[in-house]
């Protein structure tokens, strides 16, 4: 068997308590579907033995299979896998087991020294059945037990054996405890009444528990019905013993992680943006003042983010340049390492992330801190790794975002950046006013009439496999984010370009009937008219998004001009367009092909 060092994502669920574990685990896995997956599985331990089932089908079908088997046992673990390496088949699905089948493990992350560990374990007589790096964990635990270690000792030894990132939940037949350990991958523990739910994300256990424990890195724990024990791991900074910290209340509720009357999470979250933006504007985070003082004294400013958060970073760079005349740089998180040598003490890095668990962004933050930079985080997920790594945290307060495509977290990032820059502005009221104008325009942009208008635009574009989007300044940021949404959700090859770059190559893509979307504000109408005229002479069909239609607009989407904050409102019709295009192309907008919600491995 060829070994591929499969980097494992995406969802972990565990249970120990008084209920039958199997239906609880499958229910928790269904609530993690939004993270994306290609296989799933559970293991339940009881006096009758180990019940292990895995599937490459949808969880709804897997649920029927599991519940019809009526497994017994009140302790177990489950996993949804979204692999970046290794086939999506039953052999690679989790949970993975030791040779004797008594130790079962689920794992997210990447074990960088898995190849060396695997070779050593094979020499010691262990048999592997998958291509994954994850499978070394149950065999390491089994080897420790063979050598006379207790399960506590074998788990505590893992941090000294594993190199890389991991969130691990393990169980051993004959023991009524789950063993958990994390480093660089998300893992929290939901706390109910005499029951516990280790999980990748809070929404999975919300119907059962409304308190949560955020686990520290490289501190192994054992979780039983009577409580949580801290083990003495190699990297642990505190002595072994009972877990004494008080679990924190969860701010989410079941309704916030359900679709309600909406067909998909994506449209629900688009429609929620009036409220999410309003919360930020009406009750700005207290940490804005601290963050603004850090920026005021910064020797240099870098923004880092991945995907949609990178586009928000570009907006932050645009705001600093146009509002405060300050130089800054927006970097894709994965590319930050190549620019980090230029960092000096006194630099400030502003890191943006919806999940707070994006591996590239966390790596960029670690590099920045190692070089003496101060870190501000704009993040939506409470208790995430990024909130712990940053010096100042600005919470986005968007609520849970369960569709893979980011919508409300993006506009909250833009608003938070607007409020942050406003604190430094010589005219702070201007920033607040424009942000309020953008928010108010959302009521019109999400109305039934507006949605019907966008649906007609989607019908015009649905037959095309390629789409160009063009803008200048802050409108170019909108073009980039709109292109990403359309690519992600609708599978259309959408490309964004700055308006002034059309003559430098992109015009070669324009042919008879080519659809082009132009974005502009009131200061750019004349430039937009010239660009549209040039495109039409080459056969393009022009669609426009701005305060007024152009002479050549085939279909116009009117968006109120709110100065620098126009980007906040301008993206809304494009989110709706991506959603409508996905439906017309018979795609699931909540689960785009080949994508997962949180990219937690490098």
Domains of the chain by start residue, with CATH:
8-255 (3.60.20.10), 259-426 (3.40.50.10490), 444-589 (3.40.50.10490)
Q: How confident is the model at residue 7 (pLDDT cuts 50, 70, 90)?
A: very low
Give the list of residues 6+ apart from residue 227 with CB closer than 8 angstroms, or none.
242, 243
Distances in whole angstroms, Cα of residue 367 to Cα of each of 348, 361, 601: 12, 10, 16
Burial of 549 from C-beta contacts in 10 A (0-12 / 13-18 / 19+): middle
SS3 assignment for 386-412: HHHHCCEEEECCCCCCCCCCCCHHHHH
**Using one digit for the tens of pLDDT, what is the confidence trace for 16-35?**
999 999 999 999 998 887 77
Q: Give the integer Cα–Cα distance in Å for 218 and 599.
A: 21
pLDDT band at 235 (very low <50, low <70, confident <90, very high): low
* CB 273 within 8 Å of CB 446: yes
Strands 466-471 and 515-519: parallel
Instruction: Say if CB 200 and CB 35 are below 8 A apart.
Output: yes
Predicted confidence at residue 255, as pLDDT, reads 63
CB 382 within 8 A of CB 408: no
**In whole angstroms, what is the distance from residue 345 CA to residue 181 CA?**
34
Q: Is 597 a catalytic residue?
A: yes
Q: In the predicted model, what is the mean pLDDT of the chain?
A: 89
Position 9 confidence tier, pLDDT thresholds 50, 70, 90: low
Contacts of 177 (CB under 8 A, 6+ apart): 16, 75, 151, 171, 222, 223, 224, 229
- What number of other Cβ atoms are within 10 A of residue 451's Cβ? 17
Residue 213 near residue 248 (C-beta atoms within 8 A): yes
- Match 């152009």 to its residue by tokens: 550
The answer to whether residue 409 scores a pLDDT higher than 80 is yes
> Can you give the pLDDT at residue 601?
53
Lowest mean pLDDT among 102-106, 135-139, 458-462, 537-541: 537-541
| Cα–Cα separations (whole angstroms), residue 173 to 46, 66, 158, 324, 378 | 7, 19, 19, 62, 43
Could you tell me the pLDDT band of residue 433, with boundaries at 50, 70 and 90?
Answer: confident
**Amino acid 8: pLDDT:** 45
Q: How confident is the model at residue 6, as a pLDDT? A: 40
Residue 108 near residue 166, CB atoms below 8 Å: yes
* pLDDT single digits (tens) 35-47: 777 889 999 999 9
* Cis omega (within 30 of 0) for bond into 196: no
Report, as an integer, the average pLDDT of 327-335: 94
Segment among 98-112, 229-243, 266-280 with least mean pLDDT: 229-243
Higher pLDDT, 434 or 108: 108
Residue matched to tokens 């964004």: 496
- DSSP result, 49-83: EEEEEEESS-HHHHHHHHHHH----SEEEEEEEEE
What is the pLDDT at residue 254? 64
State residue 75's pLDDT score: 97
What's 87's DSSP letter? -
Q: What proportion of the chain, given as a percentage, has pLDDT over 70?
A: 94
Strand 8-16, strand 515-519: pairing: unpaired
Q: Residues 350, 313: contact at Cβ < 8 Å?
A: yes
Predicted confidence (pLDDT) at residue 493 exceeds the cutoff of 80: yes
> What digits encode the pLDDT tens for the residues 344-386?
889 999 999 998 888 899 999 999 999 999 999 999 987 788 9
For residue 2, pLDDT over 50 is answered with no
pLDDT band for position 428 (50/70/90)? low
10, 28, 40, 331: which is the annotated catalytic residue?
Answer: 10
Please report which confidence band the pLDDT of residue 85 belongs to, taking 50, 70 and 90 as the band edges. Answer: low
Separation of alpha carbons 547 and 526, rounded Å: 13
Q: Which tops the pLDDT comparison, 196 or 594?
A: 196
Tell me the mean pLDDT in the region 207-234. 88
Higher pLDDT, 474 or 253: 474
Alpha-carbon gap, residue 464 to 492, rounded angstroms: 8
Coil/strand/helix, residue 451: helix
Q: Which two tokens stand for residue 276?
A: 């999410």
Q: Which range among 12-21, 88-97, 562-571 has the greatest average pLDDT?
A: 12-21
Is the pLDDT at 65 greater than 50, yes or no? yes
pLDDT of residue 1: 35
Alpha-carbon distance 213 to 304, whole Å?
A: 28
Confidence class for position 341, pLDDT limits 50, 70, 90: confident
Which residue, among 403, 409, 276, 393, has the nearest Cα to 354 in the 3D structure?
409
Q: What angle do CA 463, 468, 474 make, to 5 degrees?
A: 135
Q: What does the pLDDT read at residue 342?
A: 87
Which residues does residue 49 pair with via DSSP β-bridges, in sequence order?
46
* Weakest-pLDDT range from 153-157, 212-216, 415-419, 579-583: 212-216
H/E stretch holding 97 reads strand 96-97
């Amino acid at each position: 068997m060829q070994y591929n060092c499969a980097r494992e994502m995406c969802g972990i669920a565990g249970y120990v308590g008084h209920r039958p574990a199997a239906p609880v685990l499958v229910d928790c896995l269904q609530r993690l579907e939004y993270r994306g997956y290609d296989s799933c599985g559970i293991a339940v331990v009881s006096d009758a033995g180990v019940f292990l089932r895995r599937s490459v089908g949808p969880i709804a079908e897997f649920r029927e299979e599991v519940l019809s088997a009526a497994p017994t046992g009140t302790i177990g673990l489950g996993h949804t896998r979204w692999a970046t390496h290794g086939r999506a088949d039953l052999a690679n699905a989790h949970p993975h087991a030791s040779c004797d089948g008594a130790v079962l493990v689920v794992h997210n992350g990447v074990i960088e020294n898995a190849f060396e560990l695997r070779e050593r374990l094979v020499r010691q007589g262990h048999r592997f059945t998958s291509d994954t790096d994850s499978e070394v964990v149950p065999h390491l635990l089994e080897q420790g037990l063979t050598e006379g270690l207790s399960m506590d000792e074998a788990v505590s030894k893992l941090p000294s054996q594993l190199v890389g990132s991991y969130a691990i939940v393990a169980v051993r037949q004959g023991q009524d405890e789950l063993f958990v350990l994390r480093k660089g991958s998300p893992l929290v523990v939901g706390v109910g009444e005499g029951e516990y739910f280790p999980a990748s994300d809070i929404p999975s256990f919300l119907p059962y528990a409304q308190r949560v424990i955020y686990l520290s890195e490289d501190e192994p724990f054992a979780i039983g019905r009577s409580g949580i024990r801290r083990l003495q791991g190699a990297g642990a900074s505190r002595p072994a013993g009972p877990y004494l910290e008080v679990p924190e209340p969860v701010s989410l509720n079941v309704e916030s992680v359900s679709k309600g009357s909406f067909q998909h999470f994506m449209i629900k979250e688009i429609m929620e943006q009036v409220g999410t933006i309003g919360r930020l504007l009406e009750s700005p985070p207290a940490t804005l003042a601290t963050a603004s003082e850090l920026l005021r004294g910064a020797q240099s400013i870098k923004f880092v983010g991945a995907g949609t958060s990178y586009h928000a970073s570009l907006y932050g760079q645009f705001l600093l340049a146009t509002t405060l005349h300050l130089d800054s740089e927006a970097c894709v998180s994965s590319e930050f390492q190549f620019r980090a040598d230029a960092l000096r003490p006194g630099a400030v890095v502003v890191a943006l992330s919806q999940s707070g668990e994006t591996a590239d962004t966390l790596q960029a933050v670690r590099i920045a801190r190692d070089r003496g930079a101060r870190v501000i985080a704009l993040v939506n997920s409470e208790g995430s790794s990024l909130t712990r790594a940053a010096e100042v945290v600005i919470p986005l307060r968007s609520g849970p975002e369960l569709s893979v495509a980011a919508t409300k977290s993006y506009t909250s990032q833009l608003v938070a950046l607007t409020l942050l820059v406003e604190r430094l502005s010589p005219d702070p009221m201007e920033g607040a006013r424009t942000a309020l104008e953008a928010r108010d325009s959302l009521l019109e942009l999400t109305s039934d009439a507006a949605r019907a208008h966008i649906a007609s635009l989607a019908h015009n574009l649905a037959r095309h496999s390629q789409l160009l989007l063009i803008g200048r300044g802050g409108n170019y940021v909108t073009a980039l984010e709109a292109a990403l949404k359309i690519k992600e959700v609708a599978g259309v090859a959408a490309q964004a370009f700055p308006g002034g770059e059309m003559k430098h190559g992109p015009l070669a893509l324009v042919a008879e009937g080519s659809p082009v979307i132009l974005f502009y504000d009131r200061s750019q109408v004349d430039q937009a008219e010239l660009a549209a005229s040039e495109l039409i002479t080459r056969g393009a069909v022009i669609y426009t998004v701005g305060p007024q239609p152009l002479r050549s607009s085939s279909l116009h989407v009117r968006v109120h001009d709110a100065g620098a904050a126009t980007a906040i409102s301008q993206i809304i019709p494009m989110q709706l367009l991506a959603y409508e295009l996905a439906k017309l192309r018979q795609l699931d907008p909540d689960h785009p092909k080949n994508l997962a919600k949180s990219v937690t491995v490098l």
